[in-house]
Amino acid sequence: MNRTGTTPALEHTFADLPERFYQALAPTPVAAPQAIRVNDDLARRLGLDPDWLNSAAGTEWLAGNTVATASRPLAAAYAGHQFGGFNPQLGDGRAILLGELRDAQGRLFDLQLKGAGPTRWSRGGDGRSPLGPVLREYLVSEAMAALGVPTSRALAAVSSGETVMRDRPLPGAILARVASSHLRIGSVEYFSARKDTEALQLLVDYALQRHFPAQADTDNPALALLNAVLQAQAQLVSQWQLLGFIHGVMNTDNMLLCGETIDYGPCAFMDAFNPDTVFSSIDHAGRYAYRNQPGIAHWNLASLAQALVPVLHRDPEQAVALAQAAVDTFSDHFLAAHTEGLNAKLGLTGQQADDAQLIEQLYALMAEEATDFTLTFRRLADLAHPEPGNPQDIGDLYTLPPAFDAWLAQWQSRLAREPGDPRARQAAMYRANPVFIPRNHSVEAVLTAATDHGDYAPFHTLVERLARPGQWDPGDRHLAMPPEAGQRVHQTFCGT
């Protein structure tokens, strides 16, 4: 535990890599930082003192105004495919990695300040963040963590006391973000594009040791890393699909090698089910629509495999063959993960011959009737074992239209063939099917209250409600309800 009144001690394993991996750079101080929210539970997990983080000294540290003498802050270099086009030089344009924290299990986590000032990769930007995107990322990343999805986490949100200019003057803020690391597919592409094989091999070895140490001693580290990332990304994107989550910008610089979700810019959770749903204001062609996410993940991983070719094998033809064979396994990994998750949502323990058709019919009905994605599955959990007085039942909030009746009869007949206790099966379904998600209209209302009126109470209320996504409470029904026609959010924005 960090001693009260002292700046936390950080490790700097990434800073030990050669200087071409980053720009050594301290955060740019801000005028008048004020703590908005500190994630006390996460702080304790990382050995930090929440009371100190909430103090004036802690706020100065979280804002980047105080940097310990022994610290080695930096902005990382990376490249990336953005909407399919390759940019060989992106890098942290408004984020500073302060260093790494180690939890009680010995695992390292990056601590990064987002909105901490300009770097060499800012491309003319101010390096700052408006308040709204900081609060959005805090809300959604913490909701994802509560939903069991691998994700970066929000340690704290701090207002800067400064104004940033976007389409209008906006209050500024800084997000203290924690991730298993910030190594991206684009990090590998950066050195591959420069034909820097030495750095590429160093990066492979570092990523393996940090994220997949069991594979670190393999004869082919690059292939081991590729296979591990493939499986982690297949698992991650399957979870997105199972929750109706749309990332919005699945560029290769936004996909972490460790398989955690990161960069919650124009992300959103689907309301009415439509597989072609797009929210991002910059995704004009629907490249990152809900239905396309698995295919885009596959595409991104093919880009990773191509970037690793120089270190996969000395023989270029053999290297390409190894890369292709690995990438070809993605569909199987994704299908296995998605099937397992969908079975959990529907109360099934194994696949039977007619299950695929049953599932296809469900999704077709959801699309035809435009039913709410989240509440459709949650209502199925109620109907898996209907009992009077069930405190988790949301029938007073949401019911399925009559068009579902024939399908429900087939599904309940299928459940009758399942072994085990129906009550235990229903409890498992409740765990797999949340009732509270970061509804787009609720998030926008929170951001408006904070940005336009300086009112953070709705933000705190929503953060605390989303920490218990599966626990139904009728008193919070307004936070579970789908939007009315006038509340629907049709576009989300990057906020950079």
- 348/339 Cα distance (integer angstroms): 10
- 333/326 Cα distance (integer angstroms): 11
Three-state SS at 69? coil
The DSSP-derived string for 6-39 is SPPP-B-TGGGS-GGGEEE-PPPP-SS-EEEEE-
Contact 56, 185 (CB under 8 A): no
Please state the separation of Cα 232 from the chain's center in Å: 13
Block residue for tokens 């980047």:
64
Q: Which of 92, 126, 253, 283 is catalytic?
A: 253
Question: How many residues can be counted in the chain?
Answer: 496
Block residue for tokens 């340690």:
155
Contact 188, 211 (CB under 8 A): no
Contact 269, 438 (CB under 8 A): yes
Give 308's contacts (C-beta < 8 A, 6+ positions apart): 188, 192, 200, 204, 222, 223, 225, 226, 323
CA 251 → CA 288, 293, 308, 416, 493, distances in Å? 9, 11, 18, 44, 15
Give 90's contacts (C-beta < 8 A, 6+ positions apart): 78, 79, 80, 82, 121, 186, 253
Three-state SS at 491? coil
Amino acid at 108: L
Contact 358, 406 (CB under 8 A): no
Q: Is 452 a catalytic residue?
A: no
- Other C-beta atoms within 10 Å of 328: how many? 13
CA 478 → CA 60, 356, 481, distances in Å? 36, 35, 5
Closest by CA position to 178, among listed 47, 283, 35:
47
- 132/143 Cα distance (integer angstroms): 16
- 187/183 Cα distance (integer angstroms): 6
Contact 417, 446 (CB under 8 A): no
- Active-site positions read 253
